[in-house]
Chains A and B, each alone.
Chain A
Amino acid sequence: MKIVYDGVSFSYPSKTALKNVSCEISPGSVALVVGHNGSGKSTFLKLMNGILKPTQGDVRLEDVNTRDKRVSELARYCALSFQNPDDQLFASTVMKELRFGSENIMGDGSLVDAVSGILHLEDYLQMNPLSLTYALRRLVAIGGSMAMDTPILALDEPTSGLSQREKAYLGSLISHSKSLKKTVVIVTHDLNFLLPFADDILMLSHGEVRYFGGRDNLFDRNDVRQLMAGCGVRYPIYARMSATLGAGKYCYEGKELIDELIKRKAGAAQRTNGQHQLEGA
């Protein structure tokens, strides 16, 4: 489902959080929203499922304007997982938590088993979510949103509080969402982990869009480092290593980087071989 922000501004009583934000997120893509603390990222996400309505401009999910629908109606289009999982969890067992949105909003609960498998929650299904560790509570909250099986999945800082094991589970969930052609929008500070999944990047600073577009296009820009620094974002570590090692392209994860280095080495060897053969002739 396509998401369109058209000249969107939003003000809290004492602060303008977003100023004239426009962007179009394509159906089935994964978009990362990045920026400094207080840049408007979470506000951007809350406008998507109608918890907040724009002060100016429009947010449209396909051709549905969020102004025209109640949050309960928009829940059929967009499931949002909050920054603080404890704001979201309420059921007495993990199973009930996972089934709630799914049964009450979308109907059949068909994704519940898949989600609990992907997030490795099977052993906790009968436990009270509030008795689990923070990382597990976060996975349950994310899983509950995913299980709603909406065309749009919005996640607010999903990696925070997760150790590398749960991050890997989250990665599988994002890949699964992608295979189901869901549009996934993720607010994050964790570019090192999430860049491999991303199609588009939205960069915010003080409520304004500094960049919106393809991931690879961003890294092709000469001013990418300055752009990121201006948004409180650190230049991702694998991109830095790719540049230092002359990998020839920006790699977004370690394995990709090593493979790229090996490929270049093989290419260079082949060229040298060819040269020798020519000389021999």
Chain B
Amino acid sequence: MLISFKDFSFAYSEDLAPALKHINLEINEGKSVVVSGLSGAGKSTLCLAAADSLSSYPAAVASGEILRRRDSGSIGGTAIVMQNFYAQITYLRSTVFEEVAFSCENNGLPRDEIIRRAGEALEKIGIEHLADRNPLELSGGEKQKVVLATALAMKPTLLILDEPISQLDPESAAHLADVLAELKKEIALLIAENDPYLTLKVADRVVVLSEGEVIADGAFGRILEPGIEEHVELPAWTRCVSEAVKEKHPDMEDSTKRYELSYKSAIAALRGIR
């Protein structure tokens, strides 16, 4: 077990509605959890809680507990890329390479190790070409990639990503999904994301939040049932089939599932209309 939420509740202040209510959730090595839900459902708060970053809210009210593996706070422990990743660039360094190396440097790793890790992280995210650029002059999407690379360079055992593809172009988003699908074999991932294509590729498990509560928890294919599409974005093909089935389109086979996650099967079902 890397991290375990036990009946954890949290409100940013006494007079605000709780952002999280009675969360029970365990995250293990080699597993990836994608957290979905409408804005305001508690996704970012869950990420911050997992990263142990909620202590900076002095008026907050919390109950229950979060158990962590003892080394989770050190380098190689937990890394997070926040929704507002702009705030995570230090701007203390004049090149992207040094920026990505900064957290390793700060943790006193040997020089050779720092250089190796920064180089590897840039390559993994596909931004070697930005190594000598000044972070200040990068575009929004490029900055997001820099922060993602910085997190990877820490070689965390738990990597927390809050909407990691929000500013990425579609090719880069697909590339990141591939990187994460590979990475999850070794480490644990907690990702707040509504993009169904990333979820399909990366998630072992989807946790759906609504108003701070877990309303579904399981493999993507298993949590889909009537009503859930208000909270979870479905792939376009799944949505098309679901609409057609819901409207009881006469040409749809009776056996057509209402939620068809596979592109091929969805297309086959839609061919019924053709």
Which residues in A have some Cβ–Cβ distance to B below 8 Å?
12-15, 35-39, 41-42, 83-84, 86, 133-136, 157, 160-166, 189, 191-192, 229, 232-234, 237-238, 241, 244-246, 254-255, 257-258, 261-262, 264-265
What is the minimal beta-carbon distance from B148 to any residue of chain A, in angstroms? 12
- Check A233 against B169 for contact (C-beta < 8 Å): yes
A227 to chain B, nearest CB (A): 13
Q: Cα distance A238–B163 when bound, in Å?
A: 24
What total of A-B pairs shows CB separation below 8 Å? 124
A37-B140, A234-B170, A237-B237 given; 19 more Cβ-contact pairs under 8 Å: A36-B172, A37-B142, A37-B145, A83-B140, A84-B86, A133-B39, A161-B166, A162-B39, A163-B37, A165-B38, A166-B39, A232-B170, A234-B171, A245-B274, A246-B274, A254-B239, A254-B243, A258-B244, A258-B249
Assess A237 versus B236: contact at CB under 8 Å? Given A38-B138, A84-B86, A157-B140.
yes
From B99-107, B198-206, B265-273, give the one contacting chain A.
B265-273
B 20-42 to A, binary, CB cutoff 8 A, 1 in contact else 0: 00000000000000000111100
Q: In the complex, are the beta carbons of B39 and A258 less than 8 A apart?
A: no
B249 / chain A contacts, CB cutoff of 8 Å? 258, 262
Query: With A and B bound together, what is the CA distance between A14 and B141 in angstroms?
Result: 18
For B116, the chain A residues whose CB sits under 8 A away are none
Partner of A241, one of B145, B166, B240: B240
- Hey, which chain A residues are within 8 Å of B273, CB to CB? 258, 261-262, 265
Known pairs A83-B140, A164-B233; A254 contacts B240 (CB<8 A): yes
Evaluate contact between B39 and A83: CB separation under 8 angstroms: no
At the interface, yes or no: B225 with Cβ under 8 Å from chain A? no
Give the residues in chain A near B274, CB-CB below 8 Å.
Answer: 245-246, 261, 264-265
- A39, A160, A255: most-surrounded residue (chain B CB, <10 A): A160
B residues whose Cβ falls under 8 Å from a Cβ of A: 37-40, 44, 83-84, 86, 133-134, 137-142, 145, 163, 166-174, 194, 230, 233, 235-237, 239-240, 243-244, 249, 251, 267, 270-271, 273-274
Determine the distance from Cα of A38 to Cα of B194 in the docked complex, in whole angstroms.
Answer: 24
Select B169's contact among A37, A134, A258, A261, beta carbons within 8 Å: A37
A165 and B137 in contact (CB under 8 A), knowing A232-B172, A238-B236?
A: no
Q: Are B39 and A134 in touch, CB under 8 angstroms?
A: yes
A84 surroundings in chain B (CB, below 8 A): 84, 86, 140
A160 close to B39 (CB less than 8 A): no
Complex A-B: 28 CB contacts under 8 Å: A37-B141, A37-B145, A37-B168, A37-B172, A39-B169, A42-B139, A84-B84, A84-B86, A86-B84, A133-B40, A136-B39, A157-B166, A157-B167, A163-B194, A165-B39, A189-B167, A189-B169, A189-B170, A232-B170, A232-B171, A233-B170, A234-B174, A237-B235, A241-B237, A245-B274, A254-B243, A258-B249, A265-B274
CB of B167 within 8 A of CB of A37, answer yes
- In the complex, A203 Cα to B162 Cα: how many Å? 28
CB pair A14–B137 under 8 Å, yes or no, is yes
The distance in angstroms between the C-alpha atoms of A234 and B173, with both chains bound, is 10
Cα distance, A189 to B168, chains bound together (Å): 7
Docked Cα-Cα span, A255 to B239, in Å, equals: 10
Q: Which residue of B lies closest to A190 (CB)?
A: B170
Docked pose: A257 CA to B230 CA in angstroms:
21
Closest 9 CB pairs of A and B: A37-B141, A135-B39, A234-B170, A232-B169, A261-B273, A160-B166, A237-B236, A232-B171, A254-B240
For B129, the closest partner residue in chain A by CB is A38
Write the chain A residue with the least CB distance to B132.
A14
Compute how far the CA of A92 lies from the CA of B166 in the bound complex, rounded to whole angstroms. Answer: 27
Please report the C-alpha to C-alpha distance between residue A164 and residue B168 in the assembled complex, in whole angstroms: 18
Chain A residues in 8 Å Cβ range of B173? 189
A86, A134, A255: the one within 8 Å of B243 (CB): A255
Q: Provide the bound-state CA to CA distance between A12 and B139, in Å.
A: 12
CA distance A165 to B211 in the complex (A): 14
A245: chain B residues at CB < 8 Å are 267, 270-271, 274
| Interchain CA distance A246-B142 in the complex, whole Å | 38
The distance in angstroms between the C-alpha atoms of A83 and B39, with both chains bound, is 18
Contacts of A86 in B (CB 8 A): 84, 86
Instruction: Pick the residue among B37, B139, B163, B230 that contacts A161 (CB under 8 A).
Output: B163
Residue of A nearest to B134 (CB): A14
